[in-house]
C-alpha cells in the first residue's frame, strides 16, 4: 500500500524526517515500516531532543555494574549482590485513562527490572496533579492512586515510598512516574543483547491486541485536544506475576541468551533494540504472533503495546526446554523468528515481506536536534523577584501559620495514599512510607537498601538549573538520613515541548543541573527516562526532573526513621540560609511562585552527607529528618506527629531572621537531629569539623510545639489538620471523569 501525502504526520514524523527515511532506504517505506520509524524516531524511543543533553551525565563509578543503555541500571551493594533500578513515566496514558495508565506504568517498570534477572523488591511512585478544587484533578488523583495500588498489590511487590504534589500547572497533564528496585547476584545480571546467528526469537506472555497502538508516538505529540483512548494499554497483574516467576526461573538456567520486555512501541522496539545492542539482524513472521482480536494487520501487531509480553532469544535446541518452564506457569510461547547476520530488520506476514530496513536506520540514524535555548525574560523576572517577609507576613503567630501549612494538600499527611498500597508484603520493609526514604532488608545479609524519589517542581520552574541540583541533593540526603550511603541515581525528565521556549530551556538547564550535582557528589546516573510534550491547551507543566536515589545501608539495624524521644536535644545541621523564594509558604499564603530558590553549595552538601553517614551509626542519635518543603517548622511538626511528642523550641534564637523566614523559609541542605543530650557536644564538634553549622533549637517533650513568639501548636490538633488535608479536598465534591 502506497504512502499518501502527509500520512507520516499521523505517526509523529515531520516532513523532513520522512524525506530522510526515503533517502536512507532508497525508496518509499511500506506502511509497516513507516509506523516502525514513527515509533523508533519518537522522543520516547529515540531521545532525539534530549540525547545531546544526556551525554553530560556522569554514568561511571567503580561500583556501577550497568549504566544507561539497558533496561535498567545496576550498582554493587556488597556481598556479591546488585541493586537494579529505574524510573519511568506513564503521564500521557494516565491523563486519558488514569487507572489503567498508572497500573500499566507499574507493570512496565517492574518488567524492566526482572528482565535484567533481578527479583523486584520495591515500587515507588512520584505524582503530580492539578489543584484539588477541580473535579477532574480529584478524579485523576483518586484513580491513579487506585491503579498503582491495584497493580502492585496484586503483583505482590510492596509500594514503599514516593511523593505527591498539586499545582494548577498540572491541571490538564498529570505526572505519573513509577520506580522499581530489584536485587540480583552480580553473575545473574542479564542484558537485552541479541546474539548467536540462528538463535530463535520467542514471544511469550499475553496475546497481542489493539490496545496501546501509537503509545510511544502519542507521548511525542503535542495534541491535547485529541482523544487517545485507543492507545491506552490494559494490564493484567496476575498474568504479570506468572510472567515474572517464569522469567526468573528461566534466567536461572543458560537456556536464554537475551530477554527484552515489550513496552513502548511493542514488538518493534524490542526486536530493534535487541538487534542493535547485539550488532545482528532479525527475521520475524508476524503471522506466528498469537492475537486476541480478529483481523489484526501486520502494522497493528508490530506497534501494539499490549502488556505482559516478553521476547526471549534462545538456541534452537533449547526452545522445548523454555516451553516446559512456561507450561509450568501456564504461559504461551511462540517461536516467531530468528537471529540473522545481515543487520536487517525483516518482518514477514507469511510469505509477504512487509519490512526490510537496516537496524542502524532505526537506531543510529534517528535524527538528533540541538535547540538553542536561553532563559526567557519572564523566567528571569520571576527568579529575580524580591521577597520581603516584613511586607508579606501578617499578624499570625508561628503556630497559626504552621497549622495553615500542615493542613494544605502539599504538606499534609500522605497516609490516605499509602494506606491503599501493600507496603509490607515480602517482609523486607524496615522503614516504609511516611519517612524520608524507605529501607528494605536484603535477606541473608546484614545489608539494607535505602530508596528515595524527589523533585521540587516549583523550584525547577523558577530556576531549572538550581532546581535540578536541589532535587539531586534532596534525594541523596533523604537516603543518608535513613542511614544509607547513596550509590546511584535514576531520573525521569518530565518536561513540556522541547522544540520551543520555555520547554527547551527547562530541558537544557535541568540536565545541566543534574550533571553538576551528580559530579560533585560522585553519584552516577545509571538509568532514566524522558517524557516530553507534557502540555495541555498550550500550557506546559512545571518542569519536573524526578530523581530516584538508591543507597546501601551497611547494617540495616542502623536504619533511621522520623520520630524522637522525650528528653532528646533537637538540633539543626545546616549548610546555607533559609529562603522564602519559590517556597510553599509563599505559594500557600500568597499564591506566588517566584524569587530565588535556596542557594546551593555542593561542597558543603558532600560534607553534610559524610556527617550524616557517621551519625546514622551512633546509637545515641534517635532520629534524623530532612528539612524540605515548608521549612523548619513543618519538619519539626512531622517529627512530632511521627512520635506523638512535642518540643520546646521557645529558646531558638532565630539568628536575627524574620520569624517567617526562619521557621518557613526553605534551605538547600538542612537536617534536624534528635539525640540523647549526652551526645550534644560530640555532634556539635563533628559538625564543626565537617564545616556544617549546628545549632540547638529545642528539647523534645510534652504535647505541644512551643515557639519563641510564645505561640504553641498542639500536636493532636496538628495531626487532625495534617491527616485531613487530602481527605477534605477529595470529599468536597463528587469525583467526575471529565
Enzyme catalytic residues: 44, 90
Please choose, from the candidates 466, 509, 183, the residue with its C-alpha nearest in 3D space to the C-alpha of residue 372.
509
DSSP string, 666-723: B-SSEEEEEE-GGGHHHHHHHHHHHT-EEEEEEEE-SSEEE-TTS-EEEHHHHHHHHH
**Which one-letter DSSP state was computed for residue 28?**
P
**Spatial CB neighbours of 317, under 8 Å, sequence gap ≥ 6:** none
CA–CA dist 705, 420 (Å, integer): 30
Please choose, from the candidates 291, 375, 404, the residue with its C-alpha nearest in 3D space to the C-alpha of residue 633.
404
CA–CA dist 568, 564 (Å, integer): 7
Q: How is the beta sheet containing 704-706 ordered, strand by strand?
A: 621-626, 670-675, 569-574, 693-700, 647-648, 704-706, 712-714
Q: How is the beta sheet containing 352-358 ordered, strand by strand?
A: 256-261, 309-314, 200-205, 333-340, 281-285, 344-349, 352-358
Residue 69 burial (CB count, 10 A):
14
CA 191 to chain CA centroid, Å, is 22
The alpha carbon torsion through 263, 268, 274, 280 (nearest 10 deg) reads 180
Instruction: Check residue 38 and give left, alpha or beta (phi > 0: left; psi -120 to 50: alpha).
Output: alpha
CA–CA dist 495, 543 (Å, integer): 5
Q: Which three cell numbers stand for residue 142?
A: 483518586
Show the CA angle centred on residue 665, arms to residues 680 and 583, nearest 5°.
140
Contact between 165 and 457 under an 8 Å Cβ cutoff? The reply is yes
Residue 233 burial (CB count, 10 A):
27
502 prior amide bond cis, ω within 30: yes
Longest dimension (CA), the chain: 85
CA distances (Å), 2 to each of 612, 625, 695, 706, in order? 64, 63, 74, 76
Residue 224 burial (CB count, 10 A):
17
Q: Which three cell numbers stand for residue 365?
A: 540514524
Amino acid at each position: 500500500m502506497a504512502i499518501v501525502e502527509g500520512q507520516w504526520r499521523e505517526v509523529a514524523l515531520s516532513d523532513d524526517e520522512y524525506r530522510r527515511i526515503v533517502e536512507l532506504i532508497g525508496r518509499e517505506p511500506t506502511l509497516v515500516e513507516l509506523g516502525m520509524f514513527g515509533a523508533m524516531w519518537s522522543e520516547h524511543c529515540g531521545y532525539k531532543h534530549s540525547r545531546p543533553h544526556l551525554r553530560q551525565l556522569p554514568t561511571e563509578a567503580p561500583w556501577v555494574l550497568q549504566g544507561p543503555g539497558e533496561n535498567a541500571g545496576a550498582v554493587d551493594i556488597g556481598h556479591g549482590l546488585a541493586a537494579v533500578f529505574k524510573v519511568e513515566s506513564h503521564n500521557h496514558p494516565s491523563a486519558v485513562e488514569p487507572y489503567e495508565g498508572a497500573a500499566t506504568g507499574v507493570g512496565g517498570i517492574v518488567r524492566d527490572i526482572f528482565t535484567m534477572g533481578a527479583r523486584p523488591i520495591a515500587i515507588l511512585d512520584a505524582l503530580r496533579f492539578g489543584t484539588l478544587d477541580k473535579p477532574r484533578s480529584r478524579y485523576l488523583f483518586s484513580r491513579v492512586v487506585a491503579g498503582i495500588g491495584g497493580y502492585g498489590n496484586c503483583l505482590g511487590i510492596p509500594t514503599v515510598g514516593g511523593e505527591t504534589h498539586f499545582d494548577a500547572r498540572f491541571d490538564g497533564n498529570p505526572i505519573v512516574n513509577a520506580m522499581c528496585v530489584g536485587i540480583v547476584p552480580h553473575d545473574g545480571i542479564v542484558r537485552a543483547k541479541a546474539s548467536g546467528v540462528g538463535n530463535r526469537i520467542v514471544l511469550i506472555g499475553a496475546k497481542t491486541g489493539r490496545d496501546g497502538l501509537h503509545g510511544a508516538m502519542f507521548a511525542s505529540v503535542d495534541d491535547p485536544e485529541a482523544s487517545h483512548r485507543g492507545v491506552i494499554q490494559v494490564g493484567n497483574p496476575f498474568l504479570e506475576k506468572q510472567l515474572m516467576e517464569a522469567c526468573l526461573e528461566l534466567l536461572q538456567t543458560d537456556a536464554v541468551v537475551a530477554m527484552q520486555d515489550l513496552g513502548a512501541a511493542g514488538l518493534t522496539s524490542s526486536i530493534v533494540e535487541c538487534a542493535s545492542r547485539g550488532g545482528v539482524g532479525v527475521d520475524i513472521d508476524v503471522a506466528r504472533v498469537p492475537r486476541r482480536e480478529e483481523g489484526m494487520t501486520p502494522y497493528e501487531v508490530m506497534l501494539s503495546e499490549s502488556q505482559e509480553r516478553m521476547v526471549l532469544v534462545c538456541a534452537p535446541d533449547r526452545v522445548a526446554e523454555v516451553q516446559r518452564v512456561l507450561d509450568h506457569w501456564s504461559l504461551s510461547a511462540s517461536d516467531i523468528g530468528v537471529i540473522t547476520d545481515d543487520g536487517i530488520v525483516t518482518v514477514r506476514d507469511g510469505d509477504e515481506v512487509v519490512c526490510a530496513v537496516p537496524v542502524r536506520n532505526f537506531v543510529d540514524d534517528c535524527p538528533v536536534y540541538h535547540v538553542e535555548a536561553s532563559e526567557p525574560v519572564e523566567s528571569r523576572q520571576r527568579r529575580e523577584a524580591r521577597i520581603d517577609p516584613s511586607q508579606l507576613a501578617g499578624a499570625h503567630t508561628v503556630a497559626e501559620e504552621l497549622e495553615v501549612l500542615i493542613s494544605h494538600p502539599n504538606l499534609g499527611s500522605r497516609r490516605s495514599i499509602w494506606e491503599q498500597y501493600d507496603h509490607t508484603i515480602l517482609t523486607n520493609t524496615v522503614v516504609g512510607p511516611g519517612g524520608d526514604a524507605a529501607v528494605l532488608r536484603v535477606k541473608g545479609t546484614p545489608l539494607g537498601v535505602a530508596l528515595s524519589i524527589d523533585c521540587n517542581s516549583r523550584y525547577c520552574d523558577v530556576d531549572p538549573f538550581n532546581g535540578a541540583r536541589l532535587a539531586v541533593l534532596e534525594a541523596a540526603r533523604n537516603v543518608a538520613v535513613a542511614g544509607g550511603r547513596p550509590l546511584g541515581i535514576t531520573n525521569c525528565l518530565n518536561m513540556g515541548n522541547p522544540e520551543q521556549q520555555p520547554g527547551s530551556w527547562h530541558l537544557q538547564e535541568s540536565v545541566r543541573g543534574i550533571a553538576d550535582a551528580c559530579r560533585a557528589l560522585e553519584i552516577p546516573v545509571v538509568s532514566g527516562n524522558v517524557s516530553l510534550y507534557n502540555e495541555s491547551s498550550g500550557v506546559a507543566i512545571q518542569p519536573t526532573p524526578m530523581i530516584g536515589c538508591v543507597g546501601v545501608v551497611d547494617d540495616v539495624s542502623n536504619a533511621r526513621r522520623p520520630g524522637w524521644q522525650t528528653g532528646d536535644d533537637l538540633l539543626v545541621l545546616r549548610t546555607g540560609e533559609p529562603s522564602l523564594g519559590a517556597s510553599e509558604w509563599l505559594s500557600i499564603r500568597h499564591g506566588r511562585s517566584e524569587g530565588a530558590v535556596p542557594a546551593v553549595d555542593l561542597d558543603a552538601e558532600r560534607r553534610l552527607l559524610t556527617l550524616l553517614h557517621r551519625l546514622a551509626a551512633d546509637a545515641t542519635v534517635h532520629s534524623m529528618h530532612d528539612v524540605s518543603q515548608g521549612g523548619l517548622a513543618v519538619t519539626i511538626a512531622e517529627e512530632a506527629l511521627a512520635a506523638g511528642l512535642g518540643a520546646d523550641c521557645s529558646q531558638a534564637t532565630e539568628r536575627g531572621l524574620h520569624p517567617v523566614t526562619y521557621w518557613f523559609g526553605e534551605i538547600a541542605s538542612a537536617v534536624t537531629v534528635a539525640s540523647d543530650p549526652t551526645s550534644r557536644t560530640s555532634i556539635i564538634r563533628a559538625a564543626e569539623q565537617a564545616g556544617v553549622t549546628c545549632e540547638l533549637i529545642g528539647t523534645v517533650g510534652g504535647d505541644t510545639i512551643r515557639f519563641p513568639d510564645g505561640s504553641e501548636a498542639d500536636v493532636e490538633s496538628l495531626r487532625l489538620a495534617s491527616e485531613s488535608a487530602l481527605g477534605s479536598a477529595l470529599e468536597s465534591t463528587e469525583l467526575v471523569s471529565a
